[in-house]
Amino acid sequence: MAAEDAVSLKNKGNDAFKAHDWPSAVDYYSKAIEANDQEPSFYTNRAQAYIKQEAYGYAIADASKAIELDQNFVKAYYRRAMANTAVLRHADAIHDWKIVVRKNPADKTAKMQYEACQKMVKRDAFLKAIEVADAPSAAEGLDLENMVVESSYDGVPLKEEMTQDFIDDMIERFKTGKLLHKKYVYQIILKVKDIVYNEPTMVETHIQSGKKLTVCGDTHGQYFDLLEIFRLNGYPSATHGYLFNGDFVDRGSWSSEIALLLYAYKWMYPSSFFLNRGNHETDDMNRMYGFEGECKHKYNERVFKIFSESFSALPLATLIGDKYLTLHGGLFSDDKITLDDIRKLNRHNQRQPGQSGLMMEMLWTDPQPQPGRGPSKRGVGLQFGPDVTKRFCEANNLKAIIRSHEVRMDGYEVEHNGHCITVFSAPRYCDSTENKGAYINFDNSYEPEYHQFDAVPHPDIKPMAYANNGMMGM
């Protein structure tokens, strides 16, 4: 009877998977495994659902278990290769892609992924070899003053200051697939790079009476959904501030439009419009998940490089009213870390977050329901439990931490007894997850007010359209 039960549970998991309800799919596959833990396909099915949730570490573990049960199970090598590729472990992925291609030579997709992965390994080695500690800025030699905007350009001009007219025109241009003139792109990025470079690693802000602050999570290149937030909730203004909590770019195919619009608002309202860095405002993620390719396609490589410099300058956290620490990922491997440690962190010494340390943890970690700390389901960083969050909030006199970094089916989730709030603002994420988006409004009472919203239609350009050789576009 247990075997029949297990198959029935797996089928329910398949139905949930088809409905793009990844958490329910994982739940059913887990129950199937409880009923029969010797069937490798249950593990590969769950691995695929984990991949959809970006829980790549769990996917690698499941695929490895399936291989342990059946060394000739090609699908398990395929899943493990996909998950390792996703977390940029190209050398590990190559090993599995090679096995898949050998066992299944007719699989054209696997062959393409194998070749793309080989290119990635070579490119990673090349970039490491030419890395210079104090490389000159990509803006060096740019003569913006004498850069001509052709008379054929049909947009509002940008002078010395950002204007509402320019922003309004930019919003409409981007809706219709038009680009900004490169001169204006350079101007915007370089201006905002200077503004954010001079902000502290943890920005501290208070909400004055009569004003409002909206906190948004990942927007991931979903430009039309970003405009929906503004339509529903109001555009940024002198009395209505916004905080975007990282991952503006990658995956969605309007990442440059989002980054430029957010940067234009940052220039317009430098003291009430805030941007935290996310794990996707980093070079290796941008190379894999589309932003580099998009910048090259729409503008040029120099635009990407200057964006990269500006991402490195972004603050890593924002403290709202001394009550809410807002950062992209989450908490730390060490209970002794305090707000003062974040204040003291010199982010300018380290442009990319690396594989360990405070910056990496701020950008990559996730909450877990169990107490203590655990290995990351992503395969990068770690997970922290409710007791860790409670101790951190008590030690730093905080009500809660606000973080993003993970899809939530309702757009947001309050967990860890109210001390940990996740907000995610990319509804129908990647056109394939049936989640809502959300944002949080605060006034000077500092009580969070949650708002959900649905995805809106967008032009027919798929997510990951500019990703490296279509890697991970599956």
Measured distance CA(471)–CA(4) in Å, rounded? 37
Q: For this structure, is 280 an active site residue?
A: yes
136 CB-near residues (< 8 Å, 6+ apart):
none
**Nearest-angstrom CA–CA distance, 411 and 439:** 8
The CA distances from residue 97 to 61, 75, 77, 110, 363, in Å, are 17, 11, 7, 7, 29
Which of 181, 280, 405, 419 is flagged as catalytic? 280
Q: How far apart are CA 89 and CA 56, in angstroms?
A: 11
Q: Residues 6 or more apart from 17 whose CB is under 8 A from it?
A: 25, 45, 48, 49, 52
233 by Cβ neighbours in 10 Å (0-12 / 13-18 / 19+) ranks as middle
Query: What residues does 400 pair with on adjacent strands?
Result: 324
Residue 123 DSSP SS3: helix
Place of tokens 């809706």: 175
> How distant, in Å, are the alpha carbons of 20, 81, 267, 289, 421 from that of 247?
22, 24, 19, 11, 17
Is the CB of residue 437 less than 8 Å from the CB of residue 407?
no
- The CA distance from 377 to 160, in Å, is 47
Q: Which residues make beta-bridge pairs with 327?
A: 317
How many CB atoms within 10 Å of residue 194? 12
**Dihedral sign, Cα of residue 98, residue 104, residue 105, residue 111:** negative
On whether the CB atoms of residues 129 and 121 are closer than 8 A, the answer is: no
The tokens describing 86, both together, are: 């996703």
Q: How far apart are CA 369 and CA 371, in angstroms?
A: 7
- Rounded to 5 degrees, what angle do the CA atoms 175, 181, 186 make? 110
Residues annotated as part of the active site: 280
